[in-house]
Amino acid sequence: MKADPSSDTFKTIKSKSSGSYKEKGSRFFAAAFPVSDEEEIRNRIDETRKLHHTARHNCYAYILGKDGSVWRANDDGEPSGTAGKPILGQIRSFGLSDVLIIVSRYFGGTLLGTSGLINAYKTAAGEALKASEIINKVIMESYEIRYPYSAMNEVMRIIKEESVIHVNHQFDLNCVITVSFRQSAKQRIIERLSRIEGLNYYFLDKR
């Protein structure tokens, strides 16, 4: 995946979607999930393994981040490169990130061979993505801002003019507020806030 470094958006899926494929008695059930981190991915994999506990294999692949730099493909006991890699290839061919696809295989008694397995996992994963709603995800950054009460009007004016999302207000002699804004607006907003005397900001997270 080639990401535009100036962009703060990328393509992902809106919600869970499903697809399936059948070949020589073997059934392949694919589930595609929007995900934001590896802990969520582990939970989705555990849930799917419980749901498809009688499946012979639960193979998966995922990509995270705007540039797709975090990824993994797992064959879960299938011959190397026949399951996780073709699933991963489908996520990439759709140009997506923050996506996990798990394909559960119920063995039908007939071996499919290397090319048969690759085609089956690729097709099942592709069907799940075809059934999904693809959306643009905006990368947001969150900060905690601390400032004196005397600077309240200046801070609130910037928040209003820049359409900054703000939560967790704590108004006192020293005020604390948590804000989020688009990554592409970071430099401009931080520069404006930095001009306020006594204001300090602390990066919280990006997603």
What is the DSSP code (8-state) at residue 160? Answer: H
Write b or e for each residue in 48-69: b if 16 or more Cβ atoms lie within 10 A of its Cβ, otherwise e: beeebeebebbbbbbbbbbebe
pLDDT at residue 6 in the model:
58
Gyration radius of the chain over CA positions: 22
Which spans in the chain are helix H? 38-51, 84-93, 113-130, 152-161, 186-194
CA distance 76 to 99: 18
Write b or e for each residue in 125-139: b if 16 or more Cβ atoms lie within 10 A of its Cβ, otherwise e: bbbbbeebeeeebeb
Q: In this structure, are residues 176 and 146 in contact, taking their beta carbons and an 8 Å threshold? A: yes
Please report where in the chains the tokens 């592709």 appear, as a residue.
Answer: 126
Sign of CA dihedral 73, 78, 80, 82: negative
pLDDT in tens, 116-161: 999 999 999 999 999 999 999 999 999 999 999 999 999 999 999 9
Q: Which residues of the chain have pLDDT under 50?
A: none
pLDDT at residue 91 in the model:
98
Q: In this structure, are residues 181 and 204 in contact, taking their beta carbons and an 8 Å threshold? A: no
CA distance 144 to 169: 10
pLDDT at residue 144 in the model:
96
Q: In this structure, are residues 87 and 103 in contact, taking their beta carbons and an 8 Å threshold? A: yes
Side chain identity, residue 97: S
Q: Could you give the domains of the chain?
A: 9-137 (3.30.230.30), 140-206 (3.30.70.260)
pLDDT at residue 168 in the model:
82
pLDDT at residue 170 in the model:
85
The bridge status of strand 174-182 relative to strand 200-206 is: unpaired
pLDDT at residue 167 in the model:
84
